[in-house]
């Protein structure tokens, strides 16, 4: 079993970590936007792009948490976690998709999307953790 390093307190947040979150956040946002353009869907369709993005992000964060976090410096964890993956995956995009589907009376599709997001996202995060711990 791996141990996780202590978290940085608010008083110990370094400028390097904040800069790393800023730069990686720009990259994650650009990746998210690009995938959203490559995998478009209308407001009445299943939000495939958002689901794929969030599942990939959940897997990546699960893997990195178990594999890289125990030894990685704070700035790298900040860059990859809240920076890259935090801006790549977004809870707000899930909520907007759900509200949009509900406004279009697509309640069954909204429910399916919510369940798929939770189940597949949870499974992806668990799979990432499991794979990361096996190596």
Classify residue 49: in a domain, yes or no: yes
Domain membership of residue 117 as a residue range: 13-134
Cα(70)–Cα(80) distance, integer angstroms: 14
> CA–CA distance from 32 to each of 38, 57, 80 (Å)?
10, 10, 14
Average pLDDT, the chain: 89
Mean pLDDT of 34-52: 85
- Does the residue 64 lie in any domain? yes
On whether residue 123 sits in a domain, the answer given is: yes
Question: Does 65 fall in a domain?
Answer: yes
Q: How many domains does one find in the chain?
A: 1
Q: What is the pLDDT of residue 1?
A: 46
Residue 1 lies in a domain: no
Position 11 pLDDT exceeds 60:
no
pLDDT at 9 over 80: no
- Of 81, 105, 88, 68, the closest CA to residue 20 belongs to 81
Whether 116 is in a domain gets the answer yes
* pLDDT at residue 33 is higher than 80: yes
In a domain, 120, yes or no: yes
37 is a domain residue: yes
Mean pLDDT of 24-48: 89
At residue 45, the pLDDT reads: 84
* pLDDT, tens only, 72-124: 999 999 999 999 999 999 888 899 999 999 999 999 999 999 999 999 999 99
């Amino acid at each position: 079993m791996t141990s996780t390093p202590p978290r940085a307190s608010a008083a110990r947040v370094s400028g390097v970590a904040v800069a790393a979150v800023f730069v990686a956040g720009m990259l994650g946002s650009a990746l998210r936007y690009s995938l959203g353009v490559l995998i478009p869907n209308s407001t009445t369709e299943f939000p495939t792009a958002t689901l794929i993005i969030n599942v990939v992000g959940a897997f990546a964060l699960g893997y990195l948490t178990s594999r890289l976090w125990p030894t990685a410096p704070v700035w790298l964890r900040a860059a990859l976690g809240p920076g890259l993956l935090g801006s790549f995956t977004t809870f707000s995009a899930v909520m907007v998709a759900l509200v949009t589907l509900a406004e279009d009376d697509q309640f069954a599709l909204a429910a399916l999307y919510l369940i798929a997001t939770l189940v597949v996202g949870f499974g992806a995060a668990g799979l990432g953790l499991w794979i990361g711990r096996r190596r």
